[in-house]
Chains A and B, each alone.
Chain A
């Protein structure tokens, strides 16, 4: 093999290895970026979920509903003599 051919093959080899390294690094960075974005997205959605759950809790809390029921609907807490506790039948309590 002549010297020029060896040099040519060497350059080709160097080019291919360099291309592979750059491709791998670029791909890795792109995936890392995507992973980071997905993590951020997940954190954002979890935060939104927590916010919505908190809003539901607040809206359905006794403190808020009780006031609305009393002020807007004129509802009152019944005296204990008007509270009827229905005993559950054994079928209702049996595991399903």
Chain B
């Protein structure tokens, strides 16, 4: 039997302890390597999220409309702060409210989140203090104008897109967040780990819109002024390029503050007489009418299927062209009877009514166009006058764009390009034709008819001095909100213009909801169109291509021709209410006993003015005033004109102005 000495027992115990220690160490080091490594990493490092910058939104010219910028939010841990008075001073200097400064310097509190977001450069002094914990956040910088802001949409407090283009293109604008591993330092600070690589954030893509900021500003300004001046409930302006379908401006305004920023896409309305050109186009396209064909205008009152249709002016006969020019309900209803219900329906359906346009915007309305099987006996006549159909302003503007571009209905474009953060283009919009709506010849004929509407018809108040405009006004009664019939005394006044009439660059739709006083589209909406165009022509940056603007038109300024135009204008101003379905008493009653010929501009010869010795700008001004177009040439000779001063030339002729270099 082995006898154990006392020392031997102690030695044995130490030896066993040493073996156990080594065994445990070996198990910890070798068997539990990953577990302990992960635990150490968790204690020594922190994985921080790198927020991805959201993509910017630019206008068609590359001007920034919305972008993201990095700011910081500040939190204070009062127990960690050393210099309280200095912190309080710095916070006040930063603009933090006194109540929060008091909380931040109260040592009884453990953690205080300060309101607001700060530029890092502004908060630099505060951020350097102990106990101040900055947290980076991305802020969306929105445009200055209210209309554009609502159109583009916003982000909520969590950075999620709320409405507008931000929501529609959220997948594109939102980037992918990255991660970074930070090492805790002995003093509680954090630095990026030199060993562990970071996963950089992938920024969102940049979206270039077709909107033109200059024109958008002009449209918003004009709409706001018109609403205030006419005490209207709201209104919309749509401006688009008829050749590409690009939306250049989209202004909407409603009395309700929470209304959508793009009611031009979301709220349909009955268009009234602005629909008549499409019935006219259908008749012309099918050869059912000639321009000089006349119809009995029944002296302003007509019975059809037990319903009384009235025109404010009373005419005995009207030609087809004048039916459109004076917006005669009686004439249009009778001409429209030459179309079958199916043909009338197809004409309006082909114009894009009753279906969405495909604009990339949330909650676009498709409007309403019922198929013939749901029509009543009154429906063909109602549709010919622009009732029993609801369209959005964008739908109507696109249909007019077809008249402007030779008959093609286009899909609207709101997004021009999408680019990566590095500038590579990943999407570029292309012109997309939905269908051919009418032949080129018909489109040209309708455009001519619309030119007469502005020159000598119901929309003369849209007429410009130097450029020709084509267009059509419309006045329609407003449905009650619950759909139970029409609201008494409430109208929608609208005007759609094609500018310039010869080769339209822009289609402009102006709609005003329930204006006070004069409510006819030609009186109310047409001048707003003129205001938009006047500002656009005067602006350098308003999406107009000056090279393709045709030369100024010439109007007689004196003599018999001028008097004839003035007389005709006065007469037609009086018959403007022709488009009202149920005429109100009006002091402007004008009886048209016979078809009025359209007044035409008279081209007269005039002498080239003497501009020798004048500064170039003044010389150009004088020549323009005299009714000539001007081409500048540089030479060593003194200022002179070619042909020389005193030469008789027709108005609108080109005069070369030679100026000294």
Contact = CB atoms under 8 A, between A and B. Distances in A.
Most buried by B among A45, A63, A89: A63
A48 B185 CA distance: 29
Contacts, number: 110
Contact of B194 (A29, A44, A78, A80): A29
Interface in A8-31: 28-29, 31
Given A43-B120, A48-B119, A64 B144 contact: yes
B466 A81 contact: yes
A45 B121 contact: yes
A53 to B, nearest CB: 8
Contacts of A29: 183, 185, 191, 194
Contacts of B552: 81
Contacts of B191: 29, 32-33, 36
A62 B218 contact: yes
Contact of B124 (A36, A44, A46, A86): A44
A35 B180 CA distance: 13
A48 B63 contact: no
Given A77-B534, A80-B537, A63 B144 contact: yes
B606 interface: no
Interface stretch (B64-72, B104-112, B569-577): B64-72
A84 B634 CA distance: 18
A47 interface: yes
A63 to B, nearest CB: 5
Contact of B70 (A43, A54, A63, A87): A43
B424 interface: no
Contacts of B220: 63
Interface stretch (B325-333, B428-436, B516-524, B625-633): B625-633
A51 B465 contact: no
Contact of B120 (A47, A58, A91): A47
B69 A47 contact: yes
Most buried by B among A66, A80, A89: A80
A31 B194 contact: yes
B380 interface: no
Nearest to B215: A62
Contact of A83 (B124, B192, B538): B538
B632 A86 contact: yes
B467 A44 contact: no
A72 B624 CA distance: 30
B199 interface: no
A79 interface: yes
B144 A61 contact: yes
B192 A44 contact: no
Contacts of A46: 69-70
B119 A47 contact: yes
A85 interface: yes
Interface of chain A, main secondary structure:
helix
Most buried by A among B141, B214, B634: B141
A77 B552 CA distance: 18
A50 interface: yes
B48 to A, nearest CB: 11
Contacts of B67: 50, 54
Interface string B39-66: 0000000000000000000000001100
A94 to B, nearest CB: 13
Given A64-B144, A80-B533, A86 B64 contact: no
B64 A84 contact: no
Nearest to A30: B191
Contact of A84 (B531, B534, B620): B620
B464 interface: yes
Interface in A37-72: 40, 43-48, 50-51, 53-54, 57-58, 61-64, 66
A81 B145 CA distance: 29
Contact of A32 (B192, B534, B617): B192
A79 B136 contact: no
Contacts of B136: 43
Contacts of A47: 69-71, 119-121
Interface in B205-264: 213-214, 217-218, 220-221
Contacts of A64: 144
B535 interface: yes
Given A62-B218, A62-B539, A89-B634, A51 B69 contact: yes
Interface in B513-566: 531, 533-535, 537-539, 546, 549, 552
A36 B50 CA distance: 13
Nearest to B633: A89
Contact of B192 (A36, A61, A63): A36
Contacts of A36: 191-192
Nearest to B537: A80
Contacts of A31: 194
Nearest to A46: B70
B221 A40 contact: no
Given A29-B183, A50-B141, A57 B64 contact: yes
A80 B534 contact: yes
A91 to B, nearest CB: 7
Given A47-B119, A51-B119, A61-B144, A80 B634 contact: no
Given A36-B191, A80-B538, 13 more contacts: A29-B185, A32-B191, A33-B191, A40-B120, A44-B121, A48-B119, A57-B144, A58-B144, A61-B213, A63-B144, A77-B531, A77-B538, A86-B620
Interface of B: 63-64, 67, 69-71, 119-121, 124, 136, 141, 144-145, 183, 185, 189, 191-195, 213-214, 217-218, 220-221, 464-467, 531, 533-535, 537-539, 546, 549, 552, 617, 620-621, 624, 630-634
Interface of A: 28-29, 31-33, 35-36, 40, 43-48, 50-51, 53-54, 57-58, 61-64, 66, 77-81, 83-87, 89, 91
17 contacts: A28-B194, A28-B195, A31-B194, A33-B185, A43-B120, A43-B136, A44-B119, A47-B119, A50-B67, A54-B64, A57-B63, A57-B64, A63-B145, A63-B220, A83-B537, A86-B630, A89-B633
